[in-house]
Amino acid sequence: MRILTIKRRTIIIFLCVLVCLVMIGVYFGLKTTSAQPNIKPTIVIDAGHGGRDGGAVGKTTGVTESLLNLQFALKLKELCENYNFNVVLTRKDMNGLYSAFATNKKKSEMQKRQEIIESANPDVVVSLHMNSFPVSSSRGAQVFYAEGNESGKALGESVQNALHEEIDYAKSVAKVGDFYVLNCTEKAGILVECGFLSNAEEEVLLQDGDYQEKFCYALLYGILTYFSM
Ligand SMILES: [Zn+2]
């Protein structure tokens, strides 16, 4: 009888301890959940050039690279926001990023891009440009990453693959490129030359809204693939 009473008491004590442990677990579990930040990847989308620096110019239509870079950046921004990215643009309009008083406008502009990237503390940086080359037959999108930046290389390969699959004439291999906007950060950064303004057919395509949309979807697909790796 006494043994049974002791046993029952032991079981009751054990159950009480178990209930307490569960309650403590639930309390801390809830506390951890409520304290968790909203996990949203941050992307800096950098539209190259701007202001008095128009970049490359289309030979047939006279379109400027700075305008196309901005159009692509705004389209990519919208798509990324639909996929729950926190998006930071370096340039939101056609104005240059340089200080009006700077004697060296290029240096001032690049420093501003670097400042924006640093304060955004992003997961990825995507800089958008249009290419130009003396040989008019050259065409196709090319992705660059900074030498020695492994995450940039992984992002670059992922985006280049997506472009190669979705966009005609896009190159198949991402390359190392020596660009300030890539060299100024340790983050996963790429520079995308979306196409050649020196190629008559691509000059027209790059201005087409549907083509821009398709291109930006391919960019997003490549970026999402990088995050899933
Ligand atoms: Zn450019």
pLDDT in tens, 194-217: 999 999 999 999 999 999 999 999
Same domain, 71 and 181: yes
Domain limits for position 7:
1-36
pLDDT in tens, 64-104: 999 999 999 999 999 999 999 999 999 999 999 999 999 99
Burial pattern 188-206, b for ≥16 Cβ within 10 A else e, equals bbbbbbbbbbbbbebbebb
Report the separation in Å between the CA atom of 49 and the middle of ligand 1, taken as the mean of its atom positions.
Answer: 6
Report the separation in Å between the CA atom of 20 and the middle of ligand 1, taken as the mean of its atom positions.
Answer: 63
Same domain, 114 and 197: yes
Interatomic CA distance for residues 49 and 105, integer angstroms? 11
Q: Is the pLDDT of residue 182 over 80?
A: yes
Count of the separate structural domains present in the chain: 2
Look up the pTM and report it: 0.83
Question: Residue 17: which pLDDT band, with cuts at 50, 70 and 90?
Answer: low
Q: Is the model more confident about 51 or about 38?
A: 51
Report the separation in Å between the CA atom of 186 and the middle of ligand 1, taken as the mean of its atom positions.
Answer: 21
Report the separation in Å between the CA atom of 64 and the middle of ligand 1, taken as the mean of its atom positions.
Answer: 10
Same domain, 97 and 151: yes
CATH number, domain containing residue 181: 3.40.630.40
What letter represents residue 166's amino acid? E
Interatomic CA distance for residues 154 and 160, integer angstroms? 10
Report the separation in Å between the CA atom of 199 and the middle of ligand 1, taken as the mean of its atom positions.
Answer: 15
